């Protein structure tokens, strides 16, 4: 009996499940969300009233189609669906999962990982206070809960999400005091041209959104500090493109620099990784269809940061690769067509990465007393001081400084940690190595592990 396990029910996981079901398989789908859709097409709880057009804008039809496809698979019992469930670890053909009923094991012989991405964060002095969020958090709060995370928000960082979240918040009636983009105009121009060549309409749509921000939007800024009082931020200090110091009053700051592929499970499953200068992060190595090893396939932003449309294509590609490896006849025409589309998505994504780069100079120049690790309040100077003991290797520096060892498991500090280390070592971040993934991938009590109930279905 073939057991295909799909982790993640965003656009990639949904299309992968649909493709496998169409071939006659009954895959298992594990997802952390309570309703399928992923973060990009996240659905509010039952009983919320805003229509898809309000929630997803121009992408409303895509979102609705994906939700309908997945709900149909669940309704017709074509998949085994485990919502609100996290994969804690992978070992010997078993996925240890934590769900509403506790910890259990799910067997698999083929694994499709579609775990998406999180915001990529860079520290800003003062970012450890309550009221500083990720950009994704600001979007989730609005989309899934109908709230703004404060009365007067500043959005800062770079990437498509910066413009999108700002426009969505303004539309919803939130007060957005400023939208501060660290990407300089020249980078946006060069990257934007590549984006426009690959996907002119999508690029135009982004420009239209940007235009709606008007004078709220500033490019080429440097973030200096977040000022706060006892209850949270009260201003952000930044320098404009000409170097003039500016101060914008606010009570909430949302930060994010494009995306960080969520690769922990791919790592635990044995994928190999390579540093990408384009995306300034470690990414798993796969073939064009997402095949990362025997019985292991990756799809969506967790494989390569191609966005939601790229994730739908990637889900189908990975599922067809899986089917081919299982000896099923596959639609080679559709596969070739999707590969062509995936290449176009990839060219666009590289343009996005060029247009909205990781702010390495800003991170390298962080003052000593800046908190790098939000989880445990560890400063840049503590990491720098650990280097003479650890040497320039990320895992050793993590052991000695604890940057990367907190409860987020390095998801929000690894990029900055590597950059700060590389600056101190006079080296490139790739030479610092990659933090190894450590199970469990989410917090779990020993009581839950001890009470585990293993099923073999």
Chain positions contacting other proteins, by CB under 8 A: 32, 34, 39, 44-50, 54, 84, 86, 118-119, 128-134, 136-137, 140-142, 145-151, 172-174, 228, 230-232, 251-252, 262, 371, 374-378, 407-408, 411-412, 442-443, 445
CB nearer to other proteins: pick between 57 and 184: 57
Q: Would you say 57 or 146 has its CB closer to other proteins?
A: 146
The least CB distance from residue 184 to other proteins, in Å, is 27
- Residue 272 neighbours by CB under 8 Å, 6+ apart: 284, 285, 292, 293
In sequence order, the 6+-apart residues with CB closer than 8 A to the CB of 24 are 328
Would you state the structure tokens that stand for residue 287, as one six-digit string? 């073939």
Whole-number Å distance between alpha carbons of 192 and 188? 5
Q: Among residues 141 and 202, whose Cβ is nearest to other proteins?
A: 141
The radius of gyration of the chain from alpha carbons, rounded to an integer in Å, stands at: 22
Indicate the residue among 6 and 153 with the shorter CB distance to other proteins: 153
Q: Which is nearer to other proteins, 238 or 412 (CB)?
A: 412
- In order of 336, 346, 457, the CA distances from 197 in angstroms are 21, 12, 49
Task: Name the nearest CA neighbour of 4 among 295, 283, 272.
Answer: 295
Nearer to other proteins, 28 or 228 (CB): 228
CB of 114 to other proteins, least distance (A): 15
DSSP-based three-state secondary structure for 215:
helix
Cβ 212 to other proteins shortest distance, Å:
17
Nearer to other proteins, 149 or 296 (CB): 149
Closest approach of other proteins to the CB of residue 105, in Å: 21
219, 276 in Cβ contact below 8 A?
no
Give the Cα separation of 69 and 308 in Å (integer). 16
Least distance to other proteins from the beta carbon of 37, Å? 12
Q: Are strands 175-181 and 217-218 parallel, antiparallel or unpaired?
A: parallel
How far apart are CB 410 and other proteins at their closest, in Å? 11
Nearer to other proteins, 325 or 376 (CB): 376
The Cα–Cα gap between 209 and 165 comes to 10
**3-state DSSP of 343-385:** HHHHHHHHHHHHHCCCCHHHHHCCCCCCEEECCCCEEHHHHHH
- The least distance separating other proteins from the CB of residue 407, rounded to whole angstroms, comes to 4
DSSP per-residue codes, 385-423: HHHHHH-S-HHHHHHHH-TT-STTTTTTTHHHHHHHHHH
Q: How far is the CB of 77 from other proteins (least distance, A)?
A: 25
């Amino acid at each position: 009996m073939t057991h295909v396990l799909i982790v993640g029910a965003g656009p990639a996981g949904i299309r992968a499940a649909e493709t496998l079901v169409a071939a006659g398989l009954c895959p298992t789908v594990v997802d952390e969300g309570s309703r399928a859709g992923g973060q990009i097409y996240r659905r509010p709880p039952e009983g919320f009233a805003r229509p898809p057009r309000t929630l997803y804008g121009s992408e409303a039809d895509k979102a609705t189609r994906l939700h309908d496809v997945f709900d149909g698979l669940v309704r017709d019992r074509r998949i085994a669906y485990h919502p609100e469930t996290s994969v804690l670890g992978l070992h010997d053909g078993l996925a240890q999962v934590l769900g509403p009923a506790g910890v259990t094991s799910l067997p698999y012989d083929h694994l499709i990982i579609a775990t998406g991405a999180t915001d990529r964060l860079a520290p800003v002095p003062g970012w450890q206070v309550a009221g500083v969020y990720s950009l994704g958090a600001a979007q989730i709060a609005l989309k899934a809960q109908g709230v703004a995370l404060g009365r007067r928000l500043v959005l800062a960082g770079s990437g498509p999400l910066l413009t999108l979240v700002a426009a969505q918040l303004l539309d919803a009636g939130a007060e957005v005091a400023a939208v501060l983009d660290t990407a300089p105009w020249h980078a946006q121009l060069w990257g934007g041209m590549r984006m426009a060549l690959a996907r002119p309409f999508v690029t135009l749509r982004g420009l239209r959104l940007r235009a709606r921000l008007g004078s709220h939007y500033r490019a080429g800024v440097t973030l200096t500090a977040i000022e706060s009082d006892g209850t949270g931020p009260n201003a952000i200090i930044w320098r404009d493109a000409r170097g003039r110091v500016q101060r914008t009053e606010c009570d909430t700051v949302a930060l994010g620099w494009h995306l960080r592929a969520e690769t922990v499970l791919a790592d635990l499953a044995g994928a190999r990784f390579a540093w990408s200068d384009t995306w300034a992060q470690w990414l798993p190595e796969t073939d064009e269809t997402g095949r990362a090893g025997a019985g292991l396939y990756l799809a969506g932003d967790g494989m390569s940061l191609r966005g939601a449309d790229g994730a739908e294509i990637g889900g189908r590609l990975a599922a067809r690769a899986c089917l081919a490896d299982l000896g099923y006849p596959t639609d080679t025409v559709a596969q070739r067509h999707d590969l062509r589309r995936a290449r176009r998505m990839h060219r666009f994504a590289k343009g996005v990465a060029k247009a909205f780069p990781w702010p390495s100079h800003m991170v390298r120049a962080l003052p000593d007393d800046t908190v790098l690790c939000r989880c445990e309040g560890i400063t840049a100077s503590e990491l720098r001081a650990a280097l003479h003991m650890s040497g320039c290797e990320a895992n050793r520096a993590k052991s000695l400084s604890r940057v990367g060892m907190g409860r987020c498991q390095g998801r929000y500090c690894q990029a900055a940690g590597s950059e700060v280390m590389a600056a101190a070592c006079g080296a490139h971040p790739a030479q610092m190595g990659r933090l190894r993934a450590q199970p469990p991938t989410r917090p779990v009590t020993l009581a839950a592990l001890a009470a585990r109930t293993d099923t073999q279905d």
